[in-house]
Chains A and B, each alone.
Chain A
C-alpha cells in the first residue's frame, strides 16, 4: 500500500484536487493507495504502508514548513519515500539542508547529473516552486536545472525528492518509484 501524504495547508482543501488527485491517477493503477493529510499521519499509517509519496502544494502554500515537527518520522523511516516539490522541501528541512528562494513556473529543462533508478537522461519537466533545497552532506544530487537542484536522494536511505511535478509531465518517474525502489 502506498501512503500519499497531502501537504496542503489544511485537510480536505481545494489544493487536494490539484496536488494529490493527479498522483492517485498514476499510483492507483499500480498499487492500493491511502491518503492522509500530513497533520493526521500516524505511526500506524507509516507501519502499514510500503512506500510514501509526499505531494506538492499551491505556490503560495508554505504552511508545511511551519509544521516541520510533523515530519520528524522521516528521520526514522526505512521505507521508500518520494517527496514532490513541497515534499522535497520538507525532506530537505528535516535533514537540515538549507532552503533558498528560486522561482520556476512552467516547463523547465532538467539535466540528469547522477545515474539513478528514476530517470536516466535529461528531460523537460513542469515546475511550480519558489523555494529549493541547497546541497547538503545528507544528500546526493541527481538532477538540476539552470537555477537549482531538481532531484536528490538521501545518501543512506531510500528517500528521494523531486522539485518538479512528475504527476503533470514524466509520470513514469512515479511509476518507477513505485515499481523499482525498495
Chain B
C-alpha cells in the first residue's frame, strides 16, 4: 500500500514514518506549514526544517501553507492530502497521533471523504515507552519548544536522553505534565533517525523564551554523512 505520512519533523511523526516504512511503502511526506503558533492541529517550531529532513530521508514532500485558523486549517490539510493522492498515488495516510482525539478524528474524516486509509501507529501507546523506543532505535531529537511550567529555557535545544526521560517522568508525577508533550507542553525536532541517509548538523540557532514558553529555532543547518 502506498502511503503519505503527515510529517512535521518532530519525534512522533518521524517514528510513525519509521513504523509505516517497516510495513508498507511510503510514497511521500505531507507537511502543513502553519502561521498560527498555537494551532491545535499542527506542530510549528522548526517546521521549515522538514525540507532538509525530507532530503535526508530521500522522500518527496507535499507542502501546504495555512493561516492556521481553527477548522479552516483542515481544508488546507485536505487539499494537501488530495494533492499527495494525485501526485504520488497514495492509498492511505499515516499520522503520529498518540492521544489527541481532536487531531485524529479530523484526519480520519478527511481520509474517509477522500477514500483513503488512515493509520495512527502510535495511537494510545505508553508515552514513556515511546520515548525509550526512540532512543533504542537511535533517533537524535532535540527539544525545539517548551510551553508549560516548569519547563524553562534550559530545556531548549537539548537532546533527549535517558536522563531527560527520567526528569520528564518526575515532572509528570509532580505536575501532571505529559512526558511526550501530548498536551502541547513540548515540541521536538528530529536530527537523525534510522531512515535518515544523512544526519542534520545545526550551524546556527536562536533561543526565545518568555513567560513559560520558548522556542529553539534552527537558523542554519546542513546534512552531513552519518
Residues 8-41 of B, flagged 1 when their CB comes within 8 A of A and 0 if not, give: 0000000000011001100000000000000000
Chain A contacts to B: CB under 8 angstroms? 12-15, 17-18, 21-22, 25, 58-61, 103, 105-107, 126, 128, 130, 167-169
Extra inter-chain contacts (11) besides given A18-B120, A130-B112, CB under 8 Å? A14-B94, A17-B19, A18-B121, A25-B125, A59-B111, A60-B115, A105-B108, A106-B108, A107-B101, A168-B101, A168-B123
Chain B contacts to A: CB under 8 angstroms? 1, 19-20, 23-24, 92, 94, 101, 105, 108-109, 111-112, 115-126
| Docked pose: A168 CA to B65 CA in angstroms | 31
| Docked pose: A15 CA to B115 CA in angstroms | 17
Kindly identify which residue among A14, A22, A106 contacts B119, using a CB–CB cutoff of 8 Å.
A14
Contact assessment for A18 and B105 in the assembled complex, using a CB-CB cutoff below 8 Å: no
Residues of B within 8 A of A168 (CB): 101, 123-124
Contact assessment for A15 and B119 in the assembled complex, using a CB-CB cutoff below 8 Å: yes
Question: 5 shortest A-B CB distances, which residue pairs?
Answer: A106-B105, A22-B124, A17-B121, A14-B23, A18-B123
A and B contact pairs by CB, cutoff 8 A, 5 listed: A14-B24, A18-B123, A58-B119, A59-B108, A60-B112
Q: What is the chain B residue whose CB lies nearest that of A167? A: B124
| Docked pose: A51 CA to B20 CA in angstroms | 31
Residues of A within 8 A of B125 (CB): 17, 21-22, 25
| Docked pose: A25 CA to B125 CA in angstroms | 7
| Docked pose: A181 CA to B119 CA in angstroms | 32
| Docked pose: A13 CA to B3 CA in angstroms | 13
Residues of B within 8 A of A13 (CB): 23
Kindly identify which residue among A17, A22, A103, A169 contacts B112, using a CB–CB cutoff of 8 Å.
A103
Kindly identify which residue among A60, A106, A128 contacts B117, using a CB–CB cutoff of 8 Å.
A60
Contact assessment for B119 and A12 in the assembled complex, using a CB-CB cutoff below 8 Å: no
Contact assessment for B119 and A59 in the assembled complex, using a CB-CB cutoff below 8 Å: no
| Docked pose: A130 CA to B109 CA in angstroms | 11
Identify the interface centre among A12, A14, A25, A168: most chain B CB within 10 Å of its CB: A14
Contact assessment for B124 and A59 in the assembled complex, using a CB-CB cutoff below 8 Å: no
Write the nearest CB–CB distance from A174 to chain B, whole angstroms: 12
